[in-house]
Amino acid sequence: MDTRMEAEQREQAQSPQSKSTSSTLTVPTVMPMRYVRLNPRFDRQESLTILQSDIRSSHPDSKYPISVPWLFSPEHKLEFFAIPGEFCLNKASSFQSGRVYGMDVTSGAAVAALLFDVFDRDDSSGLNHHQSPNDNEPLRVLDLCSAPGLKLCMISDLVPENSLVVLTHQNPDYRYAKTSFKSIISTQQRLDQIYQMKNKINEQTSEMISQLKPEFHSPVQIRLYYADGTTFGTCTQSTLMPELVFDSISAHEEHKTRGKRKRMNKSARSREKRRLLELSRQANNGDGNSNNNASEDGGEPSSMGSEEKTAPAEKESGSFSLPPFDRVLVDAECSSDATIVIVITGDTWDDSNMDELVDLQKRLIDSGFRLLKNGGILVYSTCSLSTRQNEDVVDWLLKKYNNAFIIPVSFSRESEAMSSISELRFIQEGGISGTVRFKPHVDSSGGDSVMSGGGFFLAKIRKRHDGA
């Protein structure tokens, strides 16, 4: 779910007008807990000091920011902090300088499960054992439903240097944003700009961003395709060729060529267009792609530009196919019921009339699994708590492919150790063993009613080498 939707849902949950619904349900006044993650490119202690002083300037006695113990892995630079729900983050200097990002813990958990194995639960059968990745080895990561890009932003912050992150989007918002964000180099900065554009304060930010120093540039290659995630990587008569709309290396080149000029003039735009066409052509001819057969072992070590180095792939003429990915995130379109419904009704969503949506979710997870290399990891997530959109979709995939296996994850071990009842109620096991459900929980123990993170489901799936 996008940040805007998250914010809207939460505002709705807070708003007095939403206290009653057409079905005459009473909505409790609840203050949602909010979270930030630190930008690992900045000094941790400095960022925390600034954030703390930001919070204290409006909440002098605040105990925040408070570290989230169950989503913490210092060796992976993974750290989230709770901040007061009513704190105005987007006016804070820690946020404006890009030191912290507002992000729900549940979204953070999906990315953490995708990239790291520290949250994997021991599996005594050994069936799900998988080799821990070498932390420094570049990864090929696909974010299949990337818009608006919140998780992408975290992925590109935390993957090893020289990784390639490919994202697809179907959201016209991106089309609107693309001319502007093409001129920006690092993902962080670009995404900031997208968010800012939505808030209609782009000019000044754009200027500020274009003056940022090279040390803030992302050491990761990002490619953005305007494509349907259900057919991405295939191009048949019924599916259109995906359009490469952004490539960070190409944008970097363009930025260097342009020098100090901030805006792209006509010749810069056509240069950029030519570059992207050439990259698309390489991909389509196979000189840009190898190992397209996802039944192979992943082949060449993943790296930035690996698509350029590897051998042509076998493919039907006119088809578009990609080398398989080490990691695939399928953060699927869903009914986004998880937070509102729990808060409003204390119940789960009526998912009886969702055939079309469930069908889309199945096609997305299927497509993600097809694009995954053997031995690779896929995370399927939604911000719905409906069984049909979660466990049933995952179960459908497990039945379809005999090399699809759940890697059990657990985020509650730290909480168990700390006996935090609130967190234990929030983090639950899903209907399939090893999957996770985050069930919004309202804690009134401190006087105010404070809600945990949002509702969310995630499953971590591995594609085994030895399957059919």
Catalytic residues: 383
| Part in contact with ligand SAM (CB under 6 A); list of ranges 28-36, 48-56, 227-235, 402-410 | 227-235
Tell me if 2 contacts ligand SAM by CB under 6 A: yes
Tell me if 6 contacts ligand SAM by CB under 6 A: no
- CA–CA dist 285, 385 (Å, integer): 42
Which are the contacts of 265, defined by CB distance < 8 A and separation ≥ 6?
Answer: none
Residue among 50 and 115 whose Cβ is closer to ligand SAM: 115
Residue among 145 and 294 whose Cβ is closer to ligand SAM: 145
- CA–CA dist 221, 247 (Å, integer): 7
Q: Which residue is nearest to ligand SAM (CB)?
A: 229
- CA–CA dist 126, 433 (Å, integer): 15
| Part in contact with ligand SAM (CB under 6 A); list of ranges 24-32, 118-126, 166-174, 391-399 | 166-174
| Min separation Cβ 240 and ligand SAM, Å | 12
DSSP summary character for residue 383? S
Q: Which of 79, 104, 228, 423 binds ligand SAM (CB under 6 A)?
A: 228
- Angstrom distances, CA of residue 44 to CA of 35, 37, 94, 421: 16, 11, 11, 29
| Min separation Cβ 228 and ligand SAM, Å | 5
| Part in contact with ligand SAM (CB under 6 A); list of ranges 144-152, 216-224, 295-303, 400-408 | 144-152
Tell me if 150 contacts ligand SAM by CB under 6 A: yes
x/- site string to ligand SAM, residues 360 to 399, per CB under 6 A? ----------------------------------------
Q: Does 331 carry a binding-site annotation?
A: yes
Q: How many CB atoms lie within 10 A of CB 271?
A: 17
- 153 within 8 A of 187, measured Cβ to Cβ: yes
70: three-class secondary structure by DSSP:
strand
Residue among 52 and 170 whose Cβ is closer to ligand SAM: 170
Residue among 194 and 279 whose Cβ is closer to ligand SAM: 194
Residue among 83 and 154 whose Cβ is closer to ligand SAM: 154
Tell me if 149 contacts ligand SAM by CB under 6 A: yes
Q: How many CB atoms lie within 10 A of CB 178?
A: 16
Tell me if 170 contacts ligand SAM by CB under 6 A: yes
Q: Which of 147, 165, 177, 283 binds ligand SAM (CB under 6 A)?
A: 147
- CA–CA dist 100, 81 (Å, integer): 10
Tell me if 151 contacts ligand SAM by CB under 6 A: yes
- Which strand (E) or helix (H) includes residue 277? helix 266-285
- CA–CA dist 84, 62 (Å, integer): 8
Residue among 333 and 443 whose Cβ is closer to ligand SAM: 333
Question: CA 184, 105, 388 angle in degrees (round to 5)?
Answer: 105
Tell me if 229 contacts ligand SAM by CB under 6 A: yes
Size of the site for ligand SAM (CB under 6 A): 19
Handedness of CA 225, 227, 228, 230 (dihedral sign): negative
Residue among 94 and 230 whose Cβ is closer to ligand SAM: 230
Which amino acid is present at 322?
L
- 395 within 8 A of 432, measured Cβ to Cβ: yes
- CA–CA dist 131, 313 (Å, integer): 27
DSSP summary character for residue 328? E
> Which positions from 297 through 356 interact with ligand SAM, judged by CB under 6 A?
331, 333
HSE value, Cβ hemisphere, 13 Å, CA-based, for 89: 20
The DSSP bridge pattern shows strands 372-382 and 100-102 to be unpaired
| Part in contact with ligand SAM (CB under 6 A); list of ranges 37-45, 224-232, 272-280, 407-415 | 224-232
- CA–CA dist 270, 266 (Å, integer): 6
x/- site string to ligand SAM, residues 93 to 122, per CB under 6 A? --------------x---------------
**How many residues does the structure list for the chain?**
468
Tell me if 146 contacts ligand SAM by CB under 6 A: yes
Q: Which residues participate in the annotated binding site for S-adenosyl-L-methionine?
A: 331
Q: Return residues touching ligand SAM (CB under 6 A).
A: 1-2, 107, 145-151, 168-171, 228-230, 331, 333
Q: Which residues participate in the annotated binding site?
A: 331
